[in-house]
Structure 1
Amino acid sequence: MSRINRIWSLIEDVTSGLLISVAALLTFYNVFMRYVFQSPVNWVSEVVRFMVIWGAFIGAAVALRENSHIKVDLLYAVLPRPMKKVVSLFANTVGLMFSLFLIWQGSILVSFVKARGQVSFDVEIPMFLVYLAVPIGGLFLAIRFLERIYKIFVSPQTKELGDGER
């Protein structure tokens, strides 16, 4: 399982990192063109927006994997170990349910937009490709929440409950 996890982690890292990095480079390019040559490139801001959307949805799964989401763990830190398991299981189950909701509603949104043939204004990218970030991001999150729930049941150590440090 660790080999599959490493490959999946690499896919998440490279995809989200590449999307955000290229978006930053394109933004720099557009600023350079606008202020140095007084010739802004219209399509750049639209493409950057789409790349950031995709990067953020995939990056949310990376943050979950790295336990980097914002949380208040003051109460969690003083709970006895059995209660930590219960709280972790509850929190990760709610996260999984939210991820499944994103997949379900995102798929409906993608179907709706695809059926209407909507395209973006400047680049004329089919908008269903942009909205596809919602169900795919939900899938990436669901996989990570399932991983955390699995660890709650198999790990004897508190820090592996899905809410501790990695």
Structure 2
Amino acid sequence: MERFFKYILPLLISIVAAVEFYQVLMRYVFELPVMGLDELLIYPTLWLYLLGSVNAAREDTQIKANVLDVFLKTDKSKLAVRVVADIMSVVVSIWLTYWAWDYFVYAKTVWKESPTLYIPTFWAECSLFIGLVLMTFYSGWYMLTNMRRLATFPAPVKES
């Protein structure tokens, strides 16, 4: 998976940057607006956003505010708080994935098209469900990993 993200994320951001550059160049330098570029840009932008989030979940590098770590003294208590946070993340991810599934089914059923280019919007809309499924998977993975670490955490050594 690391190889996939290593290549797809830079490719998507390059596409977004190139299309935006082209649009700015055409609109403001040549004063020739190109119709449909905004529509076309939605596809790589949504996939970039969701796959970037999946990559952060995969690497466990999401932005976190570990405020309680300042007040906790032991590594075990910090790990216990992390497990609670992981459980809440998984619960919220499952809930959001459930709603994204409903939206996925709706988008597939309705099969809307973009107004100018007539591209099926399903290909952008499905990124939400796919991204949330993967984020839920990785969140669950780290939750189980941290639960195992907490269960096997060494007991403190008592001095005699």
TM range (shorter): 0.7 to 0.9
Aligned to 1:23: 16
- Shift in Å at residue 20 of structure 1? 2.1
Give the letter for the 2:33 counterpart.
P
Counterpart among 5, 12, 15 of residue 5 in structure 2: 12
Alignment RMSD (CA, Å): 2.1
Q: Deviations over 1:64-121 (max 9, x none)?
A: 3444433222322442222222211121122222222232211211211221231111
Aligned to 1:164: none
Q: Deviations over 1:126-159 (max 9, x none)?
A: 1222110111110221222123123314558xxx
What 5-or-longer segments of structure 2 have no aligned partner? 151-160
Structure 1 window deviating more from structure 2 (40-49 vs 63-72): it is 63-72
Same amino acid, percent of matched pairs: 25
Q: Which has the larger radius of gyration?
A: 2
- Say yes or no: does 1:34 pair with 2:53: no
Counterpart among 50, 53, 73 of residue 57 in structure 1: 50
- Say yes or no: does 1:72 pair with 2:92: no
Give the letter for the 1:75 counterpart.
L
Q: Deviations over 1:9-29 (max 9, x none)?
A: 222343233222211111001
Aligned to 2:126: 132
* Alpha-carbon distance in structure 1 between the residues aligned to 2:54 and 2:107: 25
* Alpha-carbon distance in structure 1 between the residues aligned to 2:49 and 2:71: 33
Q: TM-score, normalised by structure 2?
A: 0.80
* Alpha-carbon distance in structure 1 between the residues aligned to 2:44 and 2:13: 7
* Helix, strand or coil at the partner of 1:59: helix
What 5-or-longer segments of structure 1 have no aligned partner? 1-7, 157-166
